[in-house]
Amino acid sequence: MTGRTGCATWCLLLTLGACTSPESRSAGEPDPLRVVRSHIEAFNAHDAESMSRLVAREFIWFSVGPDSVVPEAVGRDALRNAMESYFEAVPSARSVIEDAVVSGPFVAIRERAYWNDRGSRRSASTLGIYEVRNGSIRRVWYHAAGDGDEAASAPPESGFVEQR
């Protein structure tokens, strides 16, 4: 992802990171990156129930667009229902974390989403920032597929964002 949205993501992470430090995690608290990786593993298994167990009761999933930030799923039940719909609409969906940066309770990832579209394997790069506290994901700021060809070919995001 390039341009304003990508820059805004990294600026947000740097700002949030300036307010925290690795020492802000209490002893015995799960590693935030491990929690995010578990969430992606549950996604790849299409296990919406496990995904919902990894989030806090006050969980919010924000979709970040060029000019807006919209809460798309609020609470565990909303996430589980959205993901069940998504997996039904995109049964071939998988994701791989390509890069991650951890700053205190915040994990920024660049991931590559994969899916099948009319017999062709497709992919798109996305950015996400996860806030992990006490071993649970509290918030996710998700930047959909990048500009250009990736955005045009991205899978439907049923349950979160209007279908393209």
What tokens were used for 86?
């998504």
pLDDT at 146: 60
The Cα 83–Cα 73 span in angstroms is 10
Identify the bridge partners of residue 108 per DSSP, sorted by sequence position: 101, 129
What tokens were used for 136?
């649970």
Percent of the chain's residues with pLDDT above 90: 68
Q: Residue range 40-64: average pLDDT?
A: 98
- pTM of the predicted model as reported, rounded to 2 decimal places: 0.77
CA 62 to chain centre: 9
Instruction: Report CA-CA distances (Å) from 99 to 33, 105, 117, 140, 162.
Output: 11, 17, 25, 16, 27
Domains of the chain: 3-15+28-153 (3.10.450.50)
pLDDT at 148: 38
Output 96 or 6, whichever has higher pLDDT.
Answer: 96
The Cα 12–Cα 139 span in angstroms is 13
Residue 48 clears pLDDT 80, i.e. is over it: yes
Percent of the chain's residues with pLDDT above 70: 71
Q: Residue range 26-43: average pLDDT?
A: 91
pLDDT digits (tens, 9 = 90+) for 66-82: 899 999 999 999 999 99
**Nearest alpha-carbon partner for 156 in 128, 122, 127, 130:** 122
**Nearest alpha-carbon partner for 155 in 98, 109, 112, 116:** 116
Enumerate the H helices of 19-143 as residue ranges. Answer: 32-44, 48-53, 76-89
Q: Residue range 111-118: average pLDDT?
A: 94
What tokens were used for 73?
């799923």
